[in-house]
A = this chain, B = another copy of it.
Amino acid sequence: MPWSPFRKLTPFADAAKRRGVIVHHLNIGQPDIETPPSVLAAVQQADIRVLEYSPSAGHDSYRRKLAGYYQGVGIDVVAEDILVTAGGSEAILFALLSCLNPGDEVLVPEPFYGAYPSFAVAAGVHIVPITSHIEQGYALPPIAEMERLLTPRTKAILICNPNNPTGYVYSRAELEQLRDLCLRRQLFLLSDEAYREFCYDAPYVSALHLAGLEQHVVLLDTISKRYSACGARIGALVTRNKAVQEAALKFAQMRVSPPGLAQLLGEAATALPATYFDGTKAEYLHRRNVLVARLQAMPGVTCPVPSGAFYVMVRLPVDDTARFAQWLLEAFQHEGQTLMISPAAGFYATPGLGRQEARLAYVRNADELHKAMDCLERALGQYPGRTA
């Protein structure tokens, strides 16, 4: 079982803080956006005498309202297609356990969400990576290349759309190519859509929008990013495939219930107006534009414009972003400040890849992003391992 790839840097960040240095955390996907007060109030004003187990699939009332939410974004599902999970994390684990047998393979475009390899170990399955490239803005790799990596043990393709860590949003054309591949080779398409609401330049297309693929798609979802409620740990596994839903329900019964208090929060969130997202989306878009503009103005830095989520992947003119990230915390400061970044090697399964790349999250406000970019600009000028 691997360690979280980003764990190594934490002690250095803690040490920097102990020295009085302000650390701008661009390394994590924890937004500073307020959790909607009306949604928190639903939990805080609930009349609870006994905090009982909920049904294993989640409260019926919540599942019905969630179905309404999905219908609102053009995803044609009913309550019975939805299993409420402990965060998107549990949805990922249950999907791998339900769609694959031990020893089976799942094809995943890299760079990918850093925890996928751990889920694969826990589920006893293997990740086969297919590399996407910064030169193409991390677009979907050519389908022919993907197909060449399929073996008789490949049971699924796992995508994250909008993508963490790249911010790339798959186009309808790319998704349709994926659909055709999944139909041709009888594969599940596991689609992690945690960032659905955050598409800035093009309409969002869900895997469940793809006609003909309904029986192959398993959506992995969470309210964490949507409502800035990461700590709630409420997600969902959504599929119209009855056999998969049934298998997932067995795993859900194993752990009896998803979190109870947080389900109240999730249920209340379904009552937010669609306009709720206008504000958060505008804020993230502004931050993205600030961050990308600053990064693209730095000599030697490559920064494709990400169309969604709240991350940018950059290539930096340094020998190794893991070493650079540590140096930022250990040896650098500018006006008492520094920043923490995520070295990208942890997002790749292929050894050696990502050593010049890093992920920056724009989960802090534009002022703080400017300060962090002031630090990065100066740091790149001073770093002894600068390459270009």
What is the interface of chain A, defined by CB distance below 8 A to chain B?
1-4, 7, 28, 30-35, 40, 43-46, 48-54, 56, 86-87, 89-90, 93, 97, 102, 115, 118-119, 122, 124, 228-233, 247, 250-251, 253-262, 265
Can you spell out 20 A-B residue pairs with CB atoms less than 8 angstroms apart? Answer: A1-B250, A4-B250, A4-B253, A30-B52, A35-B49, A35-B51, A40-B51, A43-B43, A43-B44, A44-B46, A53-B230, A93-B255, A102-B124, A115-B253, A118-B253, A119-B254, A230-B257, A230-B260, A231-B259, A232-B259
Contacting residues, chain B, for A233 (C-beta < 8 A): 86, 255, 257-260
Please indicate the chain B residues that have their CB under 8 angstroms from the CB of A31 in the complex: 50
B90 touches A255 (CB 8 A): yes
Name the B residues within 8 Å of A97 (CB-CB).
Answer: 1, 122
Q: Contacts A259-B233, A262-B261 given: A3-B253 contact, CB under 8 Å? A: yes
> Is there contact, CB below 8 Å, between B260 and A115?
no
**Are A259 and B259 in contact (CB-based, < 8 A)?**
yes
How distant is A348 from chain B, measured CB to nearest CB, in Å?
18
A45–B48 touching, CB < 8 Å: no
Minimal Cβ-Cβ distance residue in B for A35: B51
The reply to whether B118 and A251 contact each other, CB–CB distance below 8 Å, is: yes
Residues of B within 8 Å of A124, CB to CB, are: 102, 124
Q: Which residues of B contact A45 (CB under 8 A)?
A: 44
Contacts of A230 in B (CB 8 A): 51-53, 256-257, 260
Chain B residues, CB < 8 A from A28: 53
Residue of B4, B35, B254, B260 touching A50 (CB-CB under 8 A):
B35
Q: Does the CB pair B254–A115 fall under 8 Å?
A: yes
Does B2 lie within 8 Å of A118, measured CB to CB?
no
- Residue among B49, B87, B250, B253 making CB contact with A256, cutoff 8 Å: B87
Contact partner of A2 (CB less than 8 A), chosen from B54, B250, B258, is B250
Cα A210 to Cα B122 in complex, Å, equals 31
Chain B residue numbers with a CB within 8 Å of A33 are 50
Extra contacts, 19 of them, besides A52-B231, A89-B255, A259-B259 (Cβ < 8 A), are A1-B247, A4-B56, A34-B49, A35-B48, A35-B50, A51-B230, A53-B231, A86-B90, A86-B255, A86-B259, A87-B256, A102-B124, A115-B254, A118-B251, A119-B254, A230-B260, A231-B261, A232-B261, A262-B262
